[in-house]
Amino acid sequence: MVAGSEANRRLLERVAEIYKWLDLQVCSGGDIAGTCKSCGDCCDFEGFDHRLFITPPELMYLAANLDSGTVKPMLSGRCPYNVDGKCTIYEYRFSACRIFCCNGDADFQSGLSEAILEKLKSICLEFQIPYRYADLAAGLNSLAGV
Ligand code: SF4
Ligand code: SF4
């Protein structure tokens, strides 16, 4: 469990560092990282036949950066943060959102996913948070209490 505001602050800092590292890897990946046109189609998981998995530190990071302090439930096949095709939490989006690109190289993406999950697992260990690898709906809904 994350006890105290100092531990919470450090945890959020670690997630921000991991995202920074990840964005750099994607940015320097060039063509193999793919080129996203920000159409938002892949945020409709049913329509796109796509799945996205998230972890507790990522959810905590998102919740801490939202004015409401809590996340939205996911009540359909589309991510609740996709509004009119745009990501409304772009700066705080999950690692899988940062990695996935529909025209990127699958091996590149899977290597990055493995690396980032190791980092997220180590945060869970350090801050004694149970590690879970949940699909987006399950993760959002469990935190939103749905
Ligand atoms: S990864 Fe592809 S489907 Fe998803 S938003 Fe970018 S261009 Fe659209
Ligand atoms: S967080 Fe943003 S990028 Fe990720 S699935 Fe939701 S709307 Fe799409």
Could you tell me the distance, in angstroms and rounded to a whole number, from the CA of residue 92 to the centre of ligand 2?
9
pLDDT range class, residue 3, cuts 50, 70, 90: low
Nearest CA to 42 out of 120, 94, 107, 117 is that of 94
User: ∠ at Cα 11 (7, 12), nearest 5°?
Assistant: 120
Q: Name the domain count of the chain.
A: 1
**Mutation test residue for ligand 2: of 45, 71, 76, 94, the one with most atoms within 8 Å of CB:** 94
Query: H or E stretch including 13?
Result: helix 5-28
The protein residue whose alpha carbon is closest to atom 2 in ligand 2 is: 87
Read off the pTM: 0.95
Return the pLDDT at 102: 96
The protein residue whose alpha carbon is closest to atom 1 in ligand 2 is: 93
Q: Is 60 exceeded by the pLDDT of residue 1?
A: no
Going through the chain in order, the beta strands assigned E by DSSP cover 53-54, 82-83, 86-87, 134-135
Q: Which ligand is nearest to the CA of 84?
A: 2
Segments forming the whole domain that contains residue 68: 5-144
Q: Is 80 exceeded by the pLDDT of residue 104?
A: yes
Q: Measured from the CB, is residue 32 less than 6 Å from ligand 1?
A: no
Q: Are strands 53-54 and 134-135 parallel, antiparallel or unpaired?
A: antiparallel
pLDDT range class, residue 89, cuts 50, 70, 90: very high
